[in-house]
A = this chain, B = another copy of it.
Amino acid sequence: MSDALTSKPPLRVLALAGGVGGAKLAAGLSHLLNDRLTVLVNTGDDFEHVGLHVSPDVDTVMYTLGGIANPQTGWGIAGETWEFFTQLQTLGGPAWFMLGDRDLATHVLRTERLRRGETLTTITADLCKALGIRSSVLPMTDDRVRTRVHSGDRMLDFQHYFVREKCAVPVSRLTFDGVGQARFNAALHDLEQGDGPLAVIICPSNPYLSIDPILLLPGLRDWLMRVPAVRLAVSPIVGGEAIKGPAAKIMRELKVDPSAEGVARHYSGLVDGFVFDTVDRHLAGSIAALDMEVSTTQTIMRDADGRVALARDCIAFAERLLARVEV
């Protein structure tokens, strides 16, 4: 079969991603696929800070694919310095959101170009090019979407919840301001024309905070179902916990089963296949019962090799599913 596959045009992948976990798998995919990878990134976390437009998920994906991400923090640039941030505080500026000196170049350039009327898509493409990234990184939309975290009667901007409150506030509901009016990134339509089979991979990002805002963009879910492609999701929950971030905590607060099966259920009807960790293999039967193919593997990406290994597993799984569809 692999002989037959090599004579065909190679696989193209559209990855849906939020922050750290999504960015890691995207980096593994990018290593294997180069310009055959498009990453569609959540922008619901975007916000304005000290007058600068910050796109945390776009930046995490961009820095991770560019090989300059800080592996410790999951955000920002490796070996970052904090002279600006320290002086900002001396001058009475806000201290709750850290801005590194190098990271700041992204925000300043992007903010200026957005103010001049350029799109986030164009700006991101140029920044990626400057960082030597060969894959396409697409913001999910060029329109304004803002994730709001509701905790009872209280509503918090996403970064206030995530950074200032360190996710300590229990989540009762999530809303995405503007998502109903936002147009999904039109560059996705280019994928309809491209040469080679297409796989959509929902990365192991937070389904509620990172992937839902993408899927809620009007027409996007329909487009994903309509485009000739095989669709997979990778569980961000391993053994009942998130590798990083508040996914499991939020699932519990939203009264959802915080497990790979809970995630699979969330994507049920959308994906053809589901990748989850070997430690959760006892869930294979109940996940398969959701009408999706299952694949278990080592999903925790501890280093660059781990990212590529998971990417390779996902690609192989997608190719198996594609072959089955064709048979």
Which A residues fall within an 8 A CB radius of B? 50-52, 77, 80-81, 83-88, 90-93, 100-106, 108-109, 111-112, 115, 126-127, 130-131
Contacts and interface: CB of A to CB of B under 8 A. Distances in A.
Nearest to A92: B130
A50 B108 contact: yes
Contacts of A105: 84-85, 87-88, 90-91, 93
11 contacts: A51-B112, A77-B87, A81-B81, A81-B101, A83-B101, A84-B101, A85-B105, A86-B102, A88-B105, A91-B130, A93-B108
Contacts of A92: 109, 126, 130
B81 A115 contact: no
Given A84-B84, A91-B126, A104-B104, 6 more contacts: A84-B101, A86-B102, A87-B101, A87-B103, A88-B109, A91-B130
A79 B225 CA distance: 57
Contacts of A84: 84, 101-102, 104-105, 108
A126 B130 CA distance: 37
A102 B106 CA distance: 17
A163 to B, nearest CB: 18
B104 A50 contact: no
Nearest to A85: B105
Nearest to A107: B108
B109 A93 contact: yes
Contacts of A106: 87, 91
B87 A102 contact: yes
Contacts of A50: 108-109, 112
Contacts of A126: 91-92
B51 A111 contact: yes
Contacts of A108: 50-52, 84, 88, 93, 108
A62 B100 CA distance: 24
User: Closest 3 A-B residue pairs measured CB to CB?
Assistant: A51-B112, A83-B101, A87-B105
A301 B280 CA distance: 74
Nearest to A49: B112
A88 B77 CA distance: 14
A103 B84 CA distance: 8
Contact of A130 (B77, B90, B104, B115): B90
